[in-house]
Amino acid sequence: MTDAVFRETAAEHRTQSLPLSHLSLEVGHLYMEDFEAGPERLREHFTLVRPWVDAVRAAAPAGSGKRPRISTCFLVDDYFSRFSTPAELVPMLLAEAERCGLTIDYLARESACAVADGVQLAESVEHRLVESPPPGSDGSRPPVKEIGWLANGERTPGVERLEAMANDLPSWRPPTETAARRHSVFMDVELWDDREQRRTWSCPFLAAVWQLARLGLLRHNGEAVLVPRPAPEGSFPRDWDDLAPLTRLNPAAQPFAAYRTCSVLPSRFLPVEHAVRVILGQVEVDPRALHQVAERSGREGVPVPEAVADRVAHVFYAGG
């Protein structure tokens, strides 16, 4: 006799698996003022990017002697400012990339890192923030979810605390990095601001969401988010809201998400990407999504760092 086992469907946790490339290679993350400067500015960017893209491709690990699966992507800022239309900008972007010998497989809108297809992506990542309190901290600083600031160590004590401890401590004490190597590189990152009952996410926080999406580690109720859609037939829309959050420009492209990411960016992005590492180091990523990546990378013989932040690489070029 066989005993029947009944389970409630709601109790079963299903996490959608994603196809993965070996590397997600970002070939640009420009703002509207870059597009406003015209095709010459884009041409300059892609000319500077091209040698680094070739070098990254040559060094990309594939495992078991196979040819690496690499997809390229480009992020357009339509969150902090909007200029022109997709119908005008996207063809210009693709033409200048092609002129420099580059193919853009996927185009993402930065606003999609805040909300995509009705899913509050930035808010869901904010809920997963787990601050790492430095040794000896006394909890006098409000938590990140109240103030919207995240640090990689212990801040300088406030004036009130210094006055209360004036008999025991010097009048000033420097901030300290939690994982410092002898000397600290302290960073305090603003994640958002709330003005007139509207929250605006910071560039570093949206960039952290962008990295998690490229690493295939974002889910909503177990379902994949930022799923690529094919490019529209004919012309691109005239309104940014009518363009998909993530568009597959190349029908033959490798998967958007990947085991690792690399971004080739102007050097002005270096502070932002440092902040991204601070944020990624304090996000509790969906353990089931992490397990899926670890299991698949193991089968392919592709080593993936345990720390999510270590799966992210950058190349910064001067000029531009």
pLDDT of residue 1: 47
Q: What is the per-residue pLDDT across 40-76, written as a single tens digit (0 to 9) for each?
A: 999 999 999 999 999 999 988 766 667 899 999 999 9
Q: What is the largest CA-CA distance in the chain?
A: 78
For 100, other C-beta atoms within 10 Å of its C-beta total 17
Q: Is the pLDDT of residue 193 over 60?
A: yes
pLDDT at residue number 173: 80
pTM: 0.89
pLDDT of residue 205: 98
Residue 175 has pLDDT above 50, yes or no: yes
Q: What is the pLDDT of residue 2?
A: 46
Please report the pLDDT score of residue 161 as a whole number. Answer: 52
CA distance 200 to 220: 21
The pLDDT value recorded for residue 118 is: 93
**CA pair distance 141, 159, nearest whole angstrom:** 12
DSSP states of 121-180: HHHHHHTTB---PPTT--S-SPPHHHH-EEESEEPPPPHHHHHHTTTTS-S----EETT-
- Phi, psi of 236, deg, nearest 5: -75, 155
Residue 11 clears pLDDT 70, i.e. is over it: no
Its sign, for the CA torsion 37, 40, 42, 48, is negative
Does the pLDDT of residue 139 top 70, yes or no?
no
pLDDT band (50, 70, 90) for residue 143: confident
- Residue-level pLDDT at 135: 61
SS3 226: coil
Kindly tell me if the per-residue pLDDT of 225 is higher than 90. Answer: yes
Mean pLDDT within 184-188: 91
The residue among 68 and 159 whose pLDDT is bigger is: 68
**Pairing status of strand 149-151 against strand 188-190:** antiparallel
pLDDT digits (tens, 9 = 90+) for 274-292: 999 999 999 999 999 999 9
> Rounded mean pLDDT of the chain?
88
Least confident of 92-101, 128-137, 283-292, 293-302: 128-137
Give per-residue pLDDT as tens, 248-258: 999 999 999 99
Position 169 pLDDT exceeds 60: no
Would the pLDDT of 164 be above 60?
A: no
What is the pLDDT, as a whole number, of residue 4? Answer: 47
Average pLDDT estimate for 140-157: 84
Does 37 have pLDDT greater than 90? no
Residues of the chain above pLDDT 90, percent: 68
pLDDT number for residue 320: 58
* Pairing label, strands 312-317, 258-266: parallel
